[in-house]
Structure 1
Amino acid sequence: MHRRGVGAGAIAKKKLAEAKYKERGTVLAEDQLAQLEKDFGLRCWAWGTSIMN
């Protein structure tokens, strides 16, 4: 038997899922970057004050 190609519905569903996960990945990356900036900023401040004393 010959198998048919992927239908338009499956293609649309796949594109929707890819867009959803791409958006979620962007949000996670932004959260991670904000946390790194927060941690790095606190470390720089602590490092700067320890050198001054």
Structure 2
Amino acid sequence: MHRRGVGAGAIAKKKLAEAKYKERGTVLAEDQIVQLAKAFGQRCLVWVTSITSWVCRSLKYAWP
């Protein structure tokens, strides 16, 4: 038996599916970037607060 080639409809369907997956991947990547930026901002705030309190304690003992 001879197999037929892939039809135009199958090619269009495959391209549509690829476009949907690409769009979904972009959305997920954007969400991850937002979450990482938020977490990084919180960690920086905690770090700055820790350093500030350490400096204040150090200065308190350095200058009686």
Q: Give the TM-score of the pair, scaled to structure 1.
A: 0.96
The CA distance in 2 between the partners of 1:25 and 1:5, in whole Å, is 30
- Deviations for 1:1-53, whole angstroms, at most 9, x for unmatched residues? 11111000000000000001100100000001000000000000100110110
Partner of residue 22, structure 1: 22
Unmatched tracts of structure 1, length 5 or more: none
The CA distance in 2 between the partners of 1:18 and 1:24, in whole Å, is 10
The CA distance in 1 between the partners of 2:13 and 2:49, in whole Å, is 54
RMSD, matched Cα = 0.5
**Structure number with larger C-alpha Rg:** 2
Partner of residue 5, structure 1: 5
Unmatched tracts of structure 2, length 5 or more: 54-64
Partner of residue 40, structure 1: 40
Secondary structure of 2:2 counterpart: coil
Secondary structure of 1:4 counterpart: coil
**Number of matched residues?**
53
